[in-house]
Amino acid sequence: MVATNVKGETFSLMDKRAAMEAEMNAIIERLNQPGGPGLSGNLVDSEGFPRTDLDIPVVQAERRRLAELRNDHKEISEKINQNIQILHAARLGSKTSPLKVSGNEDGPNNQTSSAVEAGSSLQNVLLTHSPNSMDVDVVVNIPFAMVDEISDSSPAAEDGLQLGDQILKFGTVEAGENLLQRLASESQSNMGRAIPVVIMRQGAVINLTITPRTWPGRGLLGCHFRIL
């Protein structure tokens, strides 16, 4: 029963995280609209006076809300990952110790069976959108970065990347430490070559290929990633 409860909690957390992501994307789009202040742009003009073209209290409130959502999103993603590991362990345990069917619904054997069913059920959900679901036992679709800025006519935009897209895999980069440096290195080492990228957009997993290249703007991609 414990694993069943963990499964239910995980689905609930996933729904909550999806709602957070939708709110974050909406805020990012509003702040980055044409003429907007962006996520960190100055709110004062060249003479040091508040910009008259902005509703500064609203901008400040949205930036604070975005910061809160980022922190909450990180905590929820960590909890989801912990729960998935628990369910994964229950599933692996079923492979090493055979189950006995008991007529007692409340017995320990039934609890073990419930744990395995819970782990398998969540695994199936996670694998539904996995690009390599036939090659692995469990794939944890937890984005590690989000596109929070992207320039028009940039390589990233022309190759299909959009504001708010969440990165599941960028070439050989999936998760871990020093992600910004690794993303930059991946782009630089593949200049002129297509990089396979897996993103999550509005709950759907999409496969893209992005080719880092020079263009009139800054960088090889023309977008900015925020680590989640």
Each domain of the chain, given as residue ranges in start order, spans 2-128, 145-227
- What are the tens digits of pLDDT across the range 1-39? 556 687 788 888 888 888 888 898 888 888 888 888 888
- Tell me yes or no: is domain 145-227 CATH 2.30.42.10: yes
Confidence label for 124 from pLDDT (cuts 50, 70 and 90): very low
Instruction: State pTM to two decimals.
Output: 0.50
Cβ proximity of 23 and 69 under 8 Å: yes
